[in-house]
Amino acid sequence: MSKKLVSLFLAMLMVFSMTSVLADDAAVTVTDMYGREITLAEPATRIVALQPSDCEILCAIGCEEALVGIGQYCDYPASITSLPKVQSGKETNIEEILNLNPQVVLMNDMSQSEDQVKQLEDNGVKVVISTTSDIASIYTAIRMIGTLMGKDENAEALIADIQATCDEIRAKTEGNEKSVYFEISPPPYLYSCGSTSFTHELAEICGLKNIFGDQADPWLMISDEQVIERNPDYIILMNGMGAEGIDEIIARDGWGDITAIKDKNIYYDGTSMMTRPGPRLKDAVIELYNFVYGDEAEEVPAA
């Protein structure tokens, strides 16, 4: 009887100790933004990130060393551009990714096919899907990548920092009624952004009304008549035309009476921070705030 008890106790002890070994292990489990659960034996140390925003998040939480390869369009921060570049998108180069021998590939769900994902996973590479579009999804992505890399505290600190800046500016600009027009592509294919875009939220934080905020699509081809009709107070150009874009928009026939053009309230964004839903959102908000309120309010220093 007591023998039995002792053996039972020992068995229980064993089980307990085993589970405690498992729990104590460095294994990480994340739910990616596609709802899939991915478990790694330990936080990733070799990672390929195909999306520019994911690269920026990795660097912002102090994991730049873990990056072993980047997607072809990744360009920020400048220090990562010397890393091996991999074709991304529809023609994602699986061979090159495998050659870099990463534990994890971070990619979006836009053009990569399920077959490509399967091919990577069959070869022992974990695929984590990260899709950022609005600010909430940026926070989700930062948390997810933080867990993946074992840098949860850094991730939370980053989010808190961004949130603090946003809240500060939101408070300062409360009650502003000015409107803004974002131009992503010049005529004849005039593109702007609607309410589901990250850019729209930027405007909101700075107390600006996106003139195409009544449209749901993130990007849309719009009528030039509508821009004139909606008469924005500010124009933000991200249309790839360089600084000359400002002269070009001023010279457009029929646009002369738009308030933003009359008052020369046109800003050209040569960086990608206002179009890329990533951690530089903080810089973008500051930039936009300084452009709009720079003359009257005290500047918010860029971090």
The residues binding another protein (CB under 8 A) are 185-190, 212, 215, 217, 220-226, 228-229, 239-241, 252-257
Min CB(257)–another protein separation in Å: 5
236 or 285: CB nearest another protein: 236
Whose Cβ is closer to another protein: residue 40's or residue 184's? Answer: 184
63: Cα separation from own chain's centroid: 16
CB of 19 to another protein, least distance (A): 53
DSSP string over 149-208:
HT-HHHHHHHHHHHHHHHHHHHHHTTT---EEEEESB-TTS-EEE-TTSHHHHHHHHTT-
Q: Which has the closest alpha carbon to 249: 272, 229, 228, 270?
A: 228
User: Which is nearer to another protein, 93 or 165 (by Cβ)?
Assistant: 93
Q: Residue 255 or residue 268: which is nearer to another protein going by CB?
A: 255
Nearer to another protein, 143 or 252 (CB): 252
Minimum distance from CB of 275 to another protein (Å)? 12
* Cβ 194 to another protein shortest distance, Å: 9
Kind plus residue range of the DSSP H or E element containing 119? helix 114-122
Question: Shortest distance, CB of residue 27 to another protein, whole angstroms?
Answer: 41
Closest to 69 in 3D by CA, of 91, 99, 111: 99
Is the Cβ–Cβ distance between 86 and 71 less than 8 Å? yes
How far from 202 is each of 185, 229, 276, CA to CA, in Å?
19, 23, 11
Contact 220, 190 (CB under 8 A): no
